[in-house]
Structure 1
Amino acid sequence: MQTLAFPKQTTETITTQARFLGEAIDCRSIENNYECIATLPSVVKVSETGIAVLFPYGVVVLFGLSQKEENNFLKELSQYVSEPFSNPEMEAVEIQLNPEKSERVKNGVLCLKKYSVEHLQIVADVLAKTVVLAHYEIKLASVFDKIEPFTASLQKNYRLTQPGEELLHELGSTFLFQYKMVARVEIIDKPELLWEVPELDNLYSRLEDEYEIRERHMALERKLDLISRTSQTVLELMQHRTSLRAEWYIVILIIVEIVLSVYELFIQRFI
């Protein structure tokens, strides 16, 4: 049996927003300070008509909070956020209670048949994933801008202008992005909650399609792979050029040594 998120809720519409606040959230500390009404993911009661869903990888999803409640909660939450972002990614949606309509997003409004905690956890899971994807889409665009001069220099056969250390840094960044999306956020995995409430699987699938979670994840994976292969190719080329340069130095030294030896023999023979 599903639990109502707002037993005293009378309004049919609630505002919802997801925020990617930082690298991690200490959910346990928040649970100790608020009434925790569900787990996996953690759901805490902020007010009579408002809840927050917390994800350890740095996302919070707020349901039904007034502007004042939202500001106060985010201010308190900030002390439990590790490595906060200066400009957090955000996604907002209006949720409408309508038992007669199918549960889907239409014209920017998400219709739900009831405001159960489980329904809102599923919504929160998808919104959390979409803000994480948006965050890394921007990050990867920045990495592409830095990698582009390398590919241009390869095409024109010019000298590589960027130090290998910086290229290694970009390569490390792509591996870190991949780790965070796959190991921590588990973008393409269904939430564990669906094992307990399989009847919400259709809702999750519709929302996953609506926000193009799998398509965006695949696009990011392709970009990560391209950046990785480009970086490795350029680094190998730089290594090859360094090795070739060293070989030329050795050849020049051998030639110099031969010339000096011949000169010495010439001096000894004719002088």
Structure 2
Amino acid sequence: MVTTKIKLIGRISKGSRMDQVYLPKNRLGLAVGEYVTVQPLEKEPQKKSQTKKYFYGINYLELVKLEIAEKVFSWLENRIGRYENILITGSFLERGFSFNDLDVVLISEEKINLLQLRGGLEKLSGIKTHLIHLSHADLTRGLARDPLYQLMLGRCLARKRMVYKINSNINYKLLDLQLLQSKLLPENFDLLNGKEKYYLTRNLAAIRAYLSGGRVRIEEVEKLIKKQFLLSDISLIKENRISKKGFLAGYKKLYDQTFKLILGGIKNAAE
């Protein structure tokens, strides 16, 4: 004898004396008088909604980039212990798909295997990845004395909300070392592509803005660049559509001003 399991789905209705479940008259099995088990219907598990992401200095980000970012965040969360935040920064956040790499900053007190995680992220995303590990102390110290740290947090995609108080502590010798990097542009103008020129120019302008006010935001830095070089749009540098003579004249002027301020700061600190 073969017993066939019958399963019908009904809804509990309110009755005058007892609540009841109505079943269709035309059914196979479950005859009147039989005993049955009534149990709650197991609902299909709902898909977990994606954890929030926080946008800083980003007006627009393509859907495919958002999907990549979510994969990066989730993958790291499943492989590290406690963490303060995970940030995605750099050219990946700029409009379009001309980025060459993915810059990820992991803020955590835990010991991690950077090489292993970097390899995993590259395999996951298919994009060359730069992974930086910072402790909370490293980050707050960098924000206080390094304009490039402030630029990094000024435009980033964060897994968690960021609240950092910046108490500027200008280190003129550190700025002098950073300025050396931007000195390469005039000597290598013809060899550099537009993105490289933009990066070195942004580095110089960030230092100059930092010396003026102690706080650096990407909008202010790019505004300074446009004003200094009389540009209608910052993309002219990135696309290498600038006049060499005019650009280098403006660059030298900005560099000399910045260098003079740094030397003055070093001299005053020594007295």
TM-score when scaled to structure 1? Answer: 0.30
> When you count strand as a share of all residues, which structure comes out higher?
1
Which gives a bigger RCO, structure 1 or 2 (Cα 8 Å, sep 6+)? 1
> When you count helix as a share of all residues, which structure comes out higher?
1
TM-score when scaled to structure 2? Answer: 0.30
